[in-house]
Structure 1
Amino acid sequence: MTVTIKDVAKRAGVSPSTVSRVLSGHPRISVETSRKVKSIMEEMGYHPNIMAKSLVSKTTNSICIILPKPAEELFSNLFFMELIRGIVTQASRSGYDVLISSGATEKEELEAVSRLLKGRRVDGAILLYSRKDDTVIDFLKNNGYPFVLVGRSDKYDDILSVDTDNLMAAYDATNHLISMGHKRIGFVSGPPNLIVSRDRLEGYRRAMEHNGLELKSEWIVEGEFLQDSGYRAMSFFMNLPSRPTALVVVDDIVSFGVLRGLSELNYSVPADLALVSFNNIPLAELSTPPISSIDIGIYHLGYTASQVLIQAIQKQNKEPGLTRRFIIPHRLIVRESSMLSPARSE
Structure 2
Amino acid sequence: MQKNPFFRPARLAAGVLAGLLTGPLLAQAEGSIGIAQQFGIAYLLLDVVRDQKLIEKHGKEQGIDIQVEWRSISGATAMNEALLAGVLDVVSAGVPPMLTMWDRTRGRQNVKAIAALGSQPNYLLTNNPAVKSLQDLGEKDRIAVPAAGVGFQSRTLQIEAAKLFGKQHFQRFDGISVSLPHPDATAALISGASEISAHFSSAPFYYQALENPKVRKLISSYDILGGPATFNVLYTTEKFHKENPKTYRAFYDALAEAERIVKADKRAAAQTYIRVESSKLAPALVEKIVEDKENDFTIVPQRTFIYAEKLHELGVLKNKAASWKDYFFEEAHGGAGS
How does the TM-score come out when normalised to structure 1? 0.38
TM-score by length of 2: 0.38
Greater RCO (CA < 8 Å, at least 6 residues apart): 2
